Amino acid sequence: MKVGALILGIIGGLVTLFYGLLGYGLGSMAGAAGLKIVSVGLPIAGLVGAGMVMAKPVTGAALMGIAAVGLLLILGFNFFSLIPIVLLGLGALLGFLSSQDAAKPLQ
């Protein structure tokens, strides 16, 4: 499950990074510093969470979940935002589930 969370998180993070760079460009034209920070911060959080999910599944899953919820709040629920939100959300879910597998003792 950790590998699935890693793959979904990386793909979702890269798609989010594309949207973030687009938002950074729009924020630069509008002169909104907050939009630029959030546009780049959320994709980085998603990618860092995807990278951390192998070593620390709960922390990585939490970062991917925060990135997915942040995207949902910023972009809303539409076709274009659905792709990275679902990928990061499923990666977070798999990360949380893999932490449960690690807690079970082997028999």
Residue 22 lies in a domain: yes
Question: Tokens for 104?
Answer: 């079970």
Residue 69 lies in a domain: yes
Residue 94 lies in a domain: yes
Judge whether residue 32 has pLDDT over 80: no
Residue 13 lies in a domain: yes
CA 58 to CA 53: how far, in whole Å? 7
Identify the sign of the CA torsion 5, 11, 15, 21: positive
Note the pLDDT of residue 102.
Answer: 60
Overall average pLDDT of the 19-36 stretch: 82
Q: Is 83 exposed, middle or buried (0-12, 13-18, 19+ CB in 10 A)?
A: middle
pLDDT tens for each residue of 53-105:
999 999 999 999 999 999 999 888 898 889 999 999 999 999 999 887 766 66
For residue 46, the enclosing domain spans 2-101
Residue 24 lies in a domain: yes
Residue 106 lies in a domain: no
Looking at the structure of the chain, the number of domains it has is 1
CA 73 to CA 32: how far, in whole Å? 17
